[in-house]
Amino acid sequence: MRLKKIIPILILLTLLLIANAMIDAGSPETGQIQGTLTDVKSGDPIIGASILVVGTSMGATSDFDGKYLIKRLKPGSYTLRISHLEYKTGEVQLVVVTSDSSTTISLQLTKKNSELDKTISVIGSINKLGMTEVGNQVILGREQIETAPVTTVDELLAAVSEVVANNKGEVYIRGGRNGSKKLPHPSEFSMQKRNTTMNCMVPPPMPAHGGNAIVNGEAYDAMFFENYGVNPFVDTEDDHLSTFAIDVDDASYVMARSYLNRGSLPPNDAIRTEEFVNHFDYNYAPPRNRPFNIHFEGAPSQFGTNSQLLKIGIKGKEIAKEHRKDANLVFVVDISGSMGSGNRLGLVKKALRMLVDELNQNDRVGIIVYGSYAEVRLQLTSIRNKQSIIRAIEALNTAGATIAEAGIMLGYKMAQQNFDKRKINRIILCSDGVANVGQTGADQILKQIKSYADQGITLSTIGFGMGNYNDIMMEKLGNKGNGSYAYVDDINEAHRIFVENLTGNLQVIARDVKIQVDFNPQVVRSYRLLGYENRDVADNKFRDDKEDGGEIGAGHEVTALYEIKYVKDAKSDYVGTVYVRYKDDSGEEVSEINRGIQKSMFHREFERASYEFRLATVAAEYAEVLRKSYWAKDSEPQKLLSVAAELLGEHHTDELIELISMIAKTNRFEENLAQR
């Protein structure tokens, strides 16, 4: 027994050490190098560049924002080699790393055989590295550059004493030439904690609302979320029915991950508990001869007080890729100016190419774009003519304002003109959700698309971007458009949505799915649904088939968690009944299934519950902590980490490691906030 208790503790200690290393620049003995790579001419992020620490096995690859991070470097002086197929290879020498610090090296790179405009402004800053400082910046002035007899970036860099290019076209940034300031030896640096920064990039854009600072001290400018409140405990004497529409989305979880990976806590309003729970796979057994299986599991609540936790799982029937219905897909792509920020459109294009590669031979694709106006870029085209589709995707560029309403309506027009009830008829909207021309709110646009949804033309929304992003618009359109809402923060997430889960995301097996739980007041004194606040359905609307519900795709899982408090000394074993009501994929035939819940289905101890049950518990409680739920006010992240550590001892999965990392980062952020 002692060994069983000691092992989870050892695992937790190991995880905490790993988590601290992931959050900090490193342990007190290590530091890190980070930065951003952009194109010297366009300012676009450079994706997929290799950044190697010469003489070591350490390195990184730049992401879709051009960012990179190299961790756990011992103090000392290093040389970075930056290489990319399209850009000239360069080296940055004498990059000094000190313990418990972050050194930032951000650079603009030049494409091979690419020339620059004669007038160029380069702004950079570096601490004690031999370049003239203005405040905390080094400015290579416009006058200085305009008079320089240079036409390429190599010539420009060569004119700066710390930069030379060899006869192979490789650029070296260094010190030590005659008449120039030499870079100090690493021993001359103070070993105190500090950040050292070197930038060669244009300044960030002004905030959307004007001024020179982001409104309300938020981490990112113009992020739009809606507060739906937090479900309370409900006494069964007052209402023994709990009714809601299902939701398979997980955009909130991915959004929170993106915030944390970028070094910020997500706003409370960005957190939807059900989307954290539904991000994970709980391995429910699929049905054979019906659309759904209903699964139950319960145990004492690990985080609630004197309560039980009930997990209700719905699993949809699975359909093999080759048996999926043929699809008419209309891509509606936002190409407004805001989609150029952070290379959002570049990620959209890569994601759509992934999707096209996964389509079947009888599928067809059309493309609508909108900026200041909406237009057809590609009429519905067979996937057999894939190259035409790819060329149309590759030709997309950003410009103009954002008339989202016109783009969406034009997409529906194309879908309606080509409607085929035997096929999947789906619009896929790729956008940051920010509309500033025409109807700019989701509610106004929703009124126009309801009739299309009723006909069987579904709308999925895929969000891109951090800063100037409208979660409210994208989430509502996805829900009410009888499709789904996803958020893409990197290429791996795009692969998960457009490749791994494509069949489920395209083929709907049930529409307007609603769940009603009828609790037995003789056994259950009160209950609380975790999440689904914005999916609430009036109890008397459960069997009103005009009432909107959620959609489930092939193989999809939906999980709901209830905290329940028992009546003291209750004699009955009957806890309640779960009802699921839905329409078939045509939207014409309505069915209802149900299953009873017994006390005997509950484990006596939380530790005896399944791995999946405990994983769902951690995911839900973490979301409750992030959104500052009253019911999680006494929850301790350390306890979350402890439970997660035990799970890692059973199943070593990437998703669990990622969740642990997020919890650890949140814990450190909370400590920092408390110290302010």
pTM of the model: 0.71
Determine phi and psi for 496, rounding to 5 degrees. -65, -40
Residue 283 lies in a domain: yes
Residue 13 lies in a domain: no
Q: Could you report the per-residue pLDDT of 191-242, keeping only the tens digit for each? A: 333 344 444 443 445 566 555 566 666 777 778 899 999 999 999 999 999 9
Domain-ending residue, one of 463, 484, 506: 506
Q: Which residue has the tokens 């958020």?
A: 487
Reading the block at residue 492, the tokens are 């791996």
- Residues ≥6 apart with Cβ < 8 Å to 629: 230, 273
How big, in percent rounded to 5, are the helix, strand and coil portions of the chain? 30, 30, 40
**Residue 297 and residue 363 in one domain:** no
Determine phi and psi for 503, rounding to 5 degrees. -60, -45
pLDDT at 367: 97
Q: Could you report the per-residue pLDDT of 120-155, keeping only the tens digit for each? A: 233 333 333 333 333 333 222 323 323 333 333 333
Residue 421 lies in a domain: yes
- Cα distances (Å, whole numbers) of residue 40 to 117, 149, 344, 459: 10, 18, 18, 38
Mean pLDDT to the nearest integer, 174-178: 34
Domain-ending residue, one of 199, 223, 244: 199
**Residue 496 and residue 375 in one domain:** yes
**Residue 306 and residue 359 in one domain:** no
**Residue 152 and residue 67 in one domain:** yes
Mean pLDDT to the nearest integer, 533-547: 95
Among candidate residues 83, 94, 4, 87, the one with its CA nearest the CA of residue 40:
87
Residue 207 lies in a domain: no
**Residue 577 and residue 608 in one domain:** yes
Mean pLDDT to the nearest integer, 339-365: 93
Mean pLDDT to the nearest integer, 61-89: 84
pLDDT at 33: 92
Domain-ending residue, one of 506, 538, 562: 506
Q: Could you report the per-residue pLDDT of 371-424, keeping only the tens digit for each? A: 988 999 999 999 999 999 999 999 999 988 888 888 999 999 999 999 999 999
**Residue 479 and residue 444 in one domain:** yes
Q: Where are the alpha helices (DSSP H) in 74-158?
A: 142-146, 153-158
Give me the CATH number covering residue 370: 3.40.50.410
Residue 268 lies in a domain: yes
Given a contact cutoff of 8 angstroms between Cβ atoms, the answer to whether 236 and 525 are in contact is: yes
**Residue 501 and residue 516 in one domain:** no
**Residue 367 and residue 420 in one domain:** yes
What is the total residue count of the chain? 676
Q: Which residue has the tokens 């699921």?
A: 580
Residue 213 lies in a domain: no
- Residues ≥6 apart with Cβ < 8 Å to 113: none
Mean pLDDT to the nearest integer, 617-630: 95
**Residue 335 and residue 407 in one domain:** yes
57: exposed, middle or buried (C-beta count within 10 Å: 0-12, 13-18, 19+)?
A: exposed
Cα dihedral 384, 388, 390, 393 sign: negative
Residue 670 lies in a domain: no
Give me the CATH number covering residue 155: 2.60.40.1120
Reading the block at residue 177, the tokens are 């030439």
Structural domain that includes position 312: 234-319+509-634
Helix (H) / strand (E) containing 471: helix 471-480
Give me the CATH number covering residue 613: 2.60.40.1230
**Residue 457 and residue 404 in one domain:** yes
- Cα distances (Å, whole numbers) of residue 138 to 125, 132, 143, 399: 5, 6, 14, 32
**Residue 519 and residue 543 in one domain:** yes
**Residue 266 and residue 360 in one domain:** no
Given a contact cutoff of 8 angstroms between Cβ atoms, the answer to whether 44 and 346 are in contact is: yes
Among candidate residues 413, 484, 402, the one with its CA nearest the CA of residue 449:
413
Q: Total domain count for the chain?
A: 3
Residue 412 lies in a domain: yes
